[in-house]
């Protein structure tokens, strides 16, 4: 009897043990293709191929005299909600060039058209100018020490540009100028100097002829600040399209020190697209289906696109060979309905076919 009980206990232990679930060790792989898009002054977005139905679509196509290599973070066809949002990088290469992409800096592609390109650059002795500087072109706000915009040569003068330099609690200087469909090259600088008479404001231009008319009635390139007047405006009449409106607001007279604030404009006309070989287009569609692209207006420094690494990868779903590309970039994306999105320190690992 005892032996039978012992045998039954052994069988019971075996049955209970055999019914326990076996734990399998799983390996979670990091996604190969990812993109981190830090938008300035708004939430950043990210894309991981393999997560949330996102897929890396690697392709290429011949369009007129170019071959366009494309890597798109998009949703798979079974997507039922939030399907619009996607992100893509395209590299335009001349068909006559060798079919090979390499690491290095790539220029940005811009839509071919005739007109004028205007490059504006901030002039200041501020060590951290980006923290205090903003640009406005029409209804669009841009950031950077430099910006580049285009004007068509078949349209009348339209929107203006505005540069605002705001040193918190100290001084705000605003420059405003029309965007003219013509070649314009000029510098305008406002110098603040602490003198025995008080704070002196001097407007310096590179124009062969200029006249500065102040809101106080004074016509001179120099003026001594009245401690009882915090806001000064001036119109600078300059030759060759350099006419500029300046507004100065001083928040604290005691904090003003010797300082230089201004900007340079350099313009040139073009009748063919200024797109060097291997030019890049970055595009983004938000969750509401609004399309943004870097190619509407030309991009200049500090905007950049750099391929950090490129290597052979697997065949895509069409059987074409692909390159795996790691890149970093800074740029502005312009919306189809107006508005802009500034990308700062963006990074992506994507694939294109060839």
Domain final residue pick, 247, 270, 293: 270
Which of 75, 70, 69, 86 lies closest to 35, judged by CA?
86
Same domain, 160 and 239: yes
What pLDDT is stored for residue 246 in this prediction?
Answer: 96
H-run or E-run covering 195 = strand 185-195
For residue 332, the enclosing domain spans 34-111+272-353
- The Cα–Cα gap between 54 and 71 comes to 12
DSSP letter at 113 equals -
Which of 147, 152, 177 lies closest to 162, judged by CA?
177
Same domain, 120 and 260: yes
Q: Which residues of 97-125 are buried (b: 16+ CB within 10 A; e: fewer)?
A: eeeebeeeebbbbbeeeeebbbbbbbbbe
Q: Is residue 282, in this structure, part of any structural domain at all? A: yes
Which of 314, 173, 311 lies closest to 245, judged by CA?
173
What pLDDT is stored for residue 10 in this prediction?
Answer: 39
Rama region for 52: left / alpha / beta (φ>0; ψ in -120 to 50; rest): left
DSSP letter at 317 equals T
Same domain, 135 and 201: yes
Rama region for 50: left / alpha / beta (φ>0; ψ in -120 to 50; rest): left
Contact 33, 73 (CB under 8 A): yes
Count of the separate structural domains present in the chain: 2
Same domain, 194 and 147: yes
pLDDT digits (tens, 9 = 90+) for 303-350: 899 999 999 999 998 999 999 999 999 998 988 877 888 999 999 999
Domain final residue pick, 223, 245, 270: 270
Report, as ranges of residue numbers, the positions in the chain whose pLDDT lies below 70: 1-29, 153-159, 208, 239-240, 272-274, 276, 297-298, 300-301
Q: Is residue 21, in this structure, part of any structural domain at all? A: no
Hunting for tokens 């602490």 — which residue is that?
A: 194
Same domain, 65 and 83: yes
What pLDDT is stored for residue 23 in this prediction?
Answer: 34
Which of 267, 250, 10 lies closest to 119, judged by CA?
267
What pLDDT is stored for residue 12 in this prediction?
Answer: 40
Same domain, 214 and 137: yes
Same domain, 288 and 326: yes
Taking residue 1's Cβ as centre, other Cβ atoms within 10 Å add up to 5
Same domain, 41 and 135: no
Q: Is residue 23, in this structure, part of any structural domain at all? A: no
Hunting for tokens 């949330």 — which residue is that?
A: 52
What pLDDT is stored for residue 267 in this prediction?
Answer: 87
Same domain, 148 and 239: yes
- The Cα–Cα gap between 125 and 182 comes to 30
Domain final residue pick, 240, 270, 300: 270
Same domain, 104 and 136: no
């Amino acid at each position: 009897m005892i032996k039978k009980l012992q045998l039954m206990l052994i069988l019971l232990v075996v049955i209970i043990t055999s019914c326990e679930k076996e734990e399998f060790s799983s390996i979670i792989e990091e996604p190969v293709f990812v993109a981190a898009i830090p938008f300035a002054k708004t939430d950043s977005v990210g894309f991981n191929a393999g997560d949330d139905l996102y897929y890396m679509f690697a392709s290429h196509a011949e369009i007129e005299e170019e071959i366009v290599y494309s890597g798109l973070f998009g949703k798979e066809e079974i997507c039922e909600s939030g399907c619009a949002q996607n992100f893509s990088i395209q590299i335009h290469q001349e068909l006559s060039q060798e079919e090979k992409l390499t690491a290095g800096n790539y220029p940005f592609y811009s839509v071919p058209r005739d007109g004028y390109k205007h490059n504006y650059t901030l002039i200041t002795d501020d060590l951290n100018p980006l923290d205090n500087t903003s640009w406005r072109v029409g209804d669009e706000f841009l950031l950077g020490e430099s910006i580049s915009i285009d004007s068509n040569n078949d349209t009348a003068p339209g929107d203006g540009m505005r540069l605002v330099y705001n040193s918190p609690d100290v001084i705000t200087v605003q420059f405003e100028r029309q965007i003219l469909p013509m070649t314009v090259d000029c510098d305008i600088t406002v110098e603040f100097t602490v003198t025995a008479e008080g704070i002196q404001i001097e407007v310096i231009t590179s124009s062969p002829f200029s006249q500065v008319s102040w809101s106080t009635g004074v016509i001179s390139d120099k003026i001594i600040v009245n401690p009882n007047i915090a806001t000064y405006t001036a119109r600078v009449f300059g030759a060759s399209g350099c006419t500029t409106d300046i507004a100065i607001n001083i928040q604290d007279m005691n904090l003003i020190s010797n300082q230089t604030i201004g900007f340079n404009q350099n313009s040139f006309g073009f009748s063919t697209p200024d797109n060097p070989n291997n030019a890049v287009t970055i595009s983004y569609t938000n969750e509401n289906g609004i399309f943004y692209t870097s190619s509407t207006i030309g991009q200049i420094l500090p905007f950049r696109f750099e391929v950090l690494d490129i290597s052979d990868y697997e065949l895509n779903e069409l059987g074409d060979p692909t390159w795996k590309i790691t890149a970093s970039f800074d740029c502005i994306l312009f919306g189809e309905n107006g508005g802009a999105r500034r990308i700062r320190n963006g990074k992506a690992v994507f694939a294109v076919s060839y």
